[in-house]
Structure 1
Amino acid sequence: MKKQNFFELISDKITCWTGSLWAFIIAFGTIIIWGISGPLFHFSDTWQLVINTGTTIITFLMVFLIQKTQNKDSKAIHLKLNELIAASRHASNRMVDVEDLNEDELDVLHRYYEKLSDVAEKDDDIHKSHSIDSAEKNSEEKNSAIKKAKPKA
């Protein structure tokens, strides 16, 4: 078994388990036991250091496991959305891989979709497409009609 597959298998199992009720109960129990043991250790610096060190190490490692799981989930969601976009005749195929755009480009798209939302709210037909491609087609048709309507000199 490859190291990457082993790491993925282990990280999936750990992140799944750490999100469970039992993991919370164990963590909560550990804190309760630590708190109760305070008087036994006279609330010493070592007593405090034990919980601080333990939680710091666990948190440090969990950041990487959670990020790995988040990356995998994000990639899967993007692939599913890409498939839906590709399968829909009304959706713009330009939206496939939109996650590769920079922040400014995403902001421009966001503003455009806010305008499309405003147009869609005013539209009586809820099934009418309001994608980037339909907007360009409408714009081309409008420009073509304007050119035909202008008197020739």
Structure 2
Amino acid sequence: MKRKKENRFERIADKITCWTGSSAAFGIAASVILIWAISGPIFHYSDTWQLVINTGTTIITFLMVFLIQKSQNKDGKAIQLKLNELIAASRYASNRMVDIEDLTELELDVLHKYYAALSAQAEKDNDIHKSHSIDKAQQQEKEKQKSTKP
């Protein structure tokens, strides 16, 4: 029963998210604002007149934050799975990159430094098709250390 409710919520959330991103939704929202602004003189720009638009937009914004976040979470997960599949399928990619989104910010910064070094190394190469990876860089570093030892 719970799964059925989750699927129903997900379908409704997807439909609302798609609809609110449409031109029609924007047109309706702009029309509401225009009607509200035009009605100002009729209601003598009263506090109630201002409260109507403030309350309405606040409620809609509050609910949309959660719908947008749900949509972003789903999209982010799908993108990560696609990237994981590409990494797993690539002969030259390091499989250690699968699921790195679970690392801490500090661990990601360390990986970023490795890739910055690989980028610098790639820029020095004349062959733009030459593959570079963390594994290859570590192997080359080990070879350098062995060759420099007396």
Q: TM-score, normalising length from structure 2? A: 0.93
Distance 1:111 1:26 in 2: 48
User: Match of 1:62?
Assistant: 64
- Give the unaligned 5+ runs of structure 1: none
User: More deviation in 9-18 or 107-116?
Assistant: 107-116
Distance 2:101 2:85 in 1: 14
- Give the unaligned 5+ runs of structure 2: none
Shift in Å, 1:145: 4.0
One-letter amino acid of the counterpart of residue 8, structure 1: E
Shift in Å, 1:52: 0.3
2:85 matched to 1:83? yes
User: Match of 1:132?
Assistant: 134
Q: Among the aligned pairs, what percent are the same residue?
A: 74
Shift in Å, 1:137: 2.1
The C-alpha deviation readout for 1:1-33, integer Å capped at 9, x for no partner, is: 701000110000100010111111100111000
One-letter amino acid of the counterpart of residue 24, structure 2: W
One-letter amino acid of the counterpart of residue 18, structure 1: T
User: Match of 2:36?
Assistant: 34
One-letter amino acid of the counterpart of residue 128, structure 1: K
RMSD: 1.3
The C-alpha deviation readout for 1:14-62, integer Å capped at 9, x for no partner, is: 0001011111110011100000000000000000000000000000000
Shift in Å, 1:117: 1.0
User: Match of 2:12?
Assistant: 10
Question: What SS class does the counterpart of residue 124 from structure 1 fall into?
Answer: coil
Count how many residue pairs are aligned between Structure 1 and Structure 2.
148
